[in-house]
Amino acid sequence: MRTGLLLFRSCMSFGRRGLLHQHHIQLGSIVGQHPPPTWIDFKSLSSTSLSTSFFDAPDPPKSHGTPVFPDIKFDNTNKRDDNHASIMRNSDAQAVFIVNGSSRGIGLQFVKSLLKRTKGKVVACCRSPAAADTLINIASEYPDRIQIFPLDMEDQSSINTFASTMARNYRRVDALFNVAGILGDGKTTSGPERSLASIERFWMEKTLAVNVVGPTMLVKALSPLMRSTGRRSVKMITTSVLDDNQTDQVEIALPTGRPPTVIANLSARVGSISDNRLGGWYTYRLSKAALNQATRTMGHELKRQGTWIVALHPGTTDTELSKPFQGNVREGRLFPVEFTVDKLLSVVESMEEHHSGGFYDWAGKALPF
């Protein structure tokens, strides 16, 4: 078994020439605050940086297979009234936005963009907070809006501890962005595998743990705090790390009058079964296909508590960890990270209840499962 491990946050997809798209997960810096508008102007939201303003993305590639969800529509002239779910959520200073996988890349940019587009608290999670220098710098500059927590998708006790902390300290979650994931480099790791002979049990189990099991268990742990309809309070079992992991049941009064809560799972086009025309990348493909199925299934249940959930394909994004793969990316399809996150947030902000459980790309186009 190979001993070297390159672990990173990524969302990849294939093209006709083979390896094409990689997206990483990281956390970032803050870009400043803007007062909440009384309507959403997606034109103004679509230019969070100069690189975003001058980047003209091509139309998303066509997919094989038939999507079962409608597209999510948003355009540069779209305006929402004050009661639109995203306006209410973004303008609520008490709202809590969680980014899982926030030390660099796409995850880091989510932190930056949420600080600019919302008024609420941003909870940034990553495996090794002490090594997340950029994130630490941001948190020190905005101590009233950002808090950093350790969170390891392979460690259930880490997930339980984090959920307990959220229950005790915040008592609510309004949005969860599951960005963390692994792919491998094909050199120090067996993944992404180009052949069946390259598959190793260790790497497959690790990929499933990080890309599917962890995010699903995190949704399970946090979902009581995301209820926006029905019961006004929930009971949760919490764990105290400072008290020899003693458990306790606490009753939490949920906020009233808040809009539907949202969950975005970062997936990848290569997770589409019907769109698989190239083969290869066994563990990554099957992990994202499983995440898509988990998202679809959770969508049916979570809708009843006023929580909407989607799986998102970011497109090929320019981050440090994508550089080894960028030689295979067609011209015009390497996205600035600001552009990617801006588009993904616009998709989330534009979704309605009937989109919950769907699989979408950065342009709001429904993808086939």
Residue 185: is its pLDDT beyond 70? Answer: yes
In this prediction, residue 264 carries a pLDDT of 98
- Average pLDDT over all residues of the chain: 85
- 152 inside domain: yes
- 369 inside domain: no
- 3 inside domain: no
- 4 inside domain: no
User: CB 210: neighbour CB atoms within 10 A?
Assistant: 22
- 366 inside domain: no
Range of the domain at 347: 9-31+40-361
Structure tokens at 287: 């992990």
Specify the residue for token string 């990316």: 329
In this prediction, residue 201 carries a pLDDT of 98
In this prediction, residue 39 carries a pLDDT of 33
CA–CA distances in Å: residue 358 to residues 215, 309, 325, 365: 16, 8, 28, 10
**Number of domains making up the chain:** 1
Residue 320: is its pLDDT beyond 70? Answer: no
In this prediction, residue 80 carries a pLDDT of 64
Most distant CA atoms of the chain, gap in Å: 57
- Let me know the angle formed at the C-alpha of 28 by 355 and 241, rounded to the nearest 5 degrees: 85
Mean pLDDT of 196-210: 97
pLDDT in tens, 230-248: 999 999 999 876 667 778 8
Closest CA to 312 of 282, 271, 260, 353: 271
pLDDT band of residue 47 (cuts 50, 70, 90) is very low
184-194 burial: b if 16+ Cβ within 10 Å, else e:
bbbeebbbbbe
**Residues in the chain, how many?**
369
pLDDT band of residue 53 (cuts 50, 70, 90) is low
Closest CA to 114 of 134, 129, 99, 128: 99
DSSP 8-state symbol, 61: P
**Amino acid in the structure at residue 348:** V
Mean pLDDT of 256-260: 96
In terms of pLDDT, which residue wins out, 211 or 240?
211
Task: Write the Ramachandran bin of 176: left for phi over 0, alpha for psi from -120 to 50, otherwise beta.
Answer: beta
Residue 360: is its pLDDT beyond 70? Answer: yes
pLDDT band of residue 12 (cuts 50, 70, 90) is very low
Closest CA to 85 of 345, 261, 341, 295: 261
In this prediction, residue 174 carries a pLDDT of 98
pTM (2 decimals)? Answer: 0.85
Q: Give yes or no for a contact between 191 and 4, defined as CB atoms under 8 angstroms apart.
A: no
Classified as helix, coil or strand, 313 is: strand
pLDDT band of residue 79 (cuts 50, 70, 90) is low
In this prediction, residue 74 carries a pLDDT of 83
Closest CA to 69 of 259, 292, 291: 292
pLDDT in tens, 86-126: 999 999 999 999 999 999 999 999 999 999 999 999 999 99
- 343 inside domain: yes
- 367 inside domain: no
Beta partners for residue 236, in sequence order: 250
pLDDT band of residue 318 (cuts 50, 70, 90) is confident
Q: How far is CA 226 from the centre of its chain?
A: 16
Mean pLDDT of 295-320: 93
pLDDT band of residue 329 (cuts 50, 70, 90) is confident
Q: Please report, for the domain that includes residue 265, its CATH number.
A: 3.40.50.720
Residue 212: is its pLDDT beyond 70? Answer: yes
In terms of pLDDT, which residue wins out, 335 or 299?
299
Percent composition of the chain: helix, strand, coil (DSSP 3-state, to 5): 35, 20, 45
pLDDT band of residue 5 (cuts 50, 70, 90) is very low
pLDDT band of residue 268 (cuts 50, 70, 90) is very high
In this prediction, residue 6 carries a pLDDT of 41
> pLDDT > 90: what percent of the chain?
70
